[in-house]
Amino acid sequence: MTVQQSLATLGRSTVPLIAAAIVADLAIDPALVGVYLSVGSLAAFVTTMCCGGFILRYGAMRMTQVGMVALGVSLAIMSGGLLPLFAAGTVLGGLGQAVSTPSSSHLLGRLSPRHLAPLIFSIKQTGVPVGLMAAGVVAPWLVTIAGWRTTLIVIGGLCLLTALALQPLRARFDTDRDPAQRLSPADIRANVASVLGDPALRTMCLAMFSFVGLQTLFTGFFVLYLVRGLGYDLERAGLVFAIAIAVAVPARIFWGWLASRFVRPALLLALLGIAMAASAALTAVIAPSWPTWVATLVAAALSVTGVSWHGVLLAEVARLSPPGRIGATTGAVLAFGDAGALAQGAAGGRGGAGGRHRTRRGMPRWGHGQGRRAHADGDAHRPHQARRPVALAQQVAADERGEQHGDLARRRHV
């Protein structure tokens, strides 16, 4: 499941990470990257809200296969290069990615020893930074030698092969599926009512909204931020991103181990939220004059916090879920994460269109506020336990002056 998670993340992250090349080739507005993220998050939101019944009826492994096929087909569709195809591929890709985590949580929640669940979930979730790291290195490299269209086709093919490779495992892991499980739109309302009616699960929903939103800004806009705002070339920006994401792999395991043995998950999530806020604030002030290694260090700090909390939170959701409803409950909680990605992805797109600093300024508020809320609520409710990159500093300065002029004009109209 860790390998599958890596490839699912690779498939979903490829388009934002090569967005500079796509924007340059198609001569489109970079703010459409925010639209891409928002539409995908909306599709994921709908999927996670209603996937619980499908997991119970068809099995977690089968739904994982469906998700990988959807991701592969979505990338193939977008390689056509037309904006309507991007819209269709975005919806299909959001659906494919959204099914992955509830399905794997259903499996791990059923099979993992309870006291080791945070560690096991965290090990599985290392697939996310591994996939992001692979995307940060492989996707830009493929773009330079074969173009962005071929890159999408190759990575889409890997997703389809993954779905095929999972088929022999279905008989072993889908033994709890119930072919008689009813599928009804009413399940959505029931799932949402279930998580919002439980104080501890409600806290997890709020944390998911905040943390996923911040992660979306980082994974969706950081490379574009480096390329168009700081003058990095695509390969250099991809390498910085990959190095930053690489440190999230041991970080996820460490946080899971810590939550399994020494620190209550709610407290750890609160501390991580505060650390995310500080890291995001520092990311907002990166300047073109900073050495590359300093920018990489700042990005790594944000990655260790903002891209490394998933296993702890998902294990806590599984622990709090009603018996036999881990997949459905996880899906409902994840829907709030998709809502956060939708809201903050759209805000990031508008900020990217209006100025590179505006996007980063939006990130710190969520992490810090949610960290305090997770701490307080957790204590109360938990049992004891592109255009080509800008090459000249003068061009960057001109862009900044143009952005400031646009901001002034908009304020005058208001």
Q: How confident is the model at residue 65 (pLDDT cuts 50, 70, 90)?
A: very high
CA distance 286 to 105: 37
Q: For 60-147, where are the alpha helices, taking DSSP H only? A: 60-78, 83-111, 117-125, 127-146
Neighbours of 227 (CB within 10 A): 27
Reduced to 3 states, what is the DSSP secondary structure of residue 161?
helix
Confidence of residue 348 (pLDDT cuts 50, 70, 90): low
How high is the pLDDT of residue 350? 52
* Nearest-angstrom CA–CA distance, 267 and 378: 7
Question: Which pLDDT score is estimated for 132?
Answer: 76
Question: Is pLDDT of 66 > 90?
Answer: yes
pLDDT value of position 328: 82
CA-CA distance, 286 to 237, in Å (whole number)? 13
Query: Per-residue pLDDT for 373 more than 50?
Result: no
Average pLDDT value for residue range 304-319? 90
The answer to whether residue 357 scores a pLDDT higher than 70 is: no
Residue 265 CB-density burial (10 A; 0-12 exposed, 13-18 middle, 19+ buried):
buried
The mean pLDDT of 41-62, rounded to a whole number, is: 85
Helices (H), 148-291: 148-165, 170-173, 186-197, 199-224, 230, 234-246, 248-261, 265-283
Q: Please, are residues 95 and 43 in contact by the beta-carbon 8 Å criterion? A: yes
CB 17 within 8 A of CB 238: yes
Torsion 154-159-162-164 (CA) sign:
negative
Residue 68, pLDDT score: 94
Which amino acid does the sequence have at 382?
R
| In contact, 142 and 20? CB cutoff 8 Å | no
Q: Cα–Cα distance between 339 and 11 in angstroms, integer?
A: 20
CA contacts within 13 A on the Cβ side of 237: 29
Q: Is the pLDDT of residue 347 over 80?
A: no
With 90 as the cut, is the pLDDT of residue 155 above it?
A: yes
Quickly count: other Cβ atoms within 10 Å of residue 410's Cβ: 10
Task: Tell which residue, 196, 176, 179, 200, has the closest CA to residue 188.
Answer: 196
pLDDT confidence of residue 109: 79
224: confidence class by pLDDT, cuts 50, 70, 90: confident
SS3 track for 364-414: HHHHHHHHHHHHHHHHHHCCCCCCCCCCCHHHHHHHHHHHHHHHHHHHHHC
pLDDT number for residue 122 = 87
Residue 161 confidence (pLDDT): 95
Provide φ and ψ at 287, rounded to 5°: -115, 155
33, 152 Cβ separation under 8 angstroms:
no
Top-confidence residue, 324 or 369 = 324
pLDDT on residue 389: 34
Phi-psi region of 231 (alpha: psi -120 to 50; beta: other; left: phi over 0): left
* Average confidence score pLDDT of the chain: 79
Residue (of 49, 135, 162) closest to 99 by Cα position = 49
Q: Specify the pLDDT at position 372.
A: 43
pLDDT in tens, 8-19: 888 888 888 888
Q: Is the pLDDT of residue 165 over 90?
A: yes
- Tens digit of each residue's pLDDT (9 = 90 or more) over 260-297: 888 898 899 999 999 999 998 898 888 888 888 998 99
> What DSSP string runs through 283-328?
HTT--TTS-HHHHHHHHHHHHHHHTS-HHHHHHHHHHHSPTT-HHH
pLDDT of residue 349: 52
User: Residue 387: pLDDT band by 50, 70, 90 thresholds?
Assistant: very low
Average pLDDT in the 201-208 region?
92
At residue 207 the predicted structure's pLDDT band, cuts being 50, 70 and 90, is: very high
Ordered by start, the domain boundaries in the chain are: 2-169+191-413
pLDDT at 13: 85
Query: Is residue 156's pLDDT more than 90?
Result: yes
Domain 2-169+191-413, what fold?
Growth Hormone; Chain: A; (1.20.1250)
Least confident of 31-35, 51-55, 353-357: 353-357
In percent, how much of the chain has pLDDT > 90? Answer: 23
Cα distance between residue 78 and residue 75, in whole Å:
5
Pairwise CA distance, residues 280 & 215, whole Å: 10
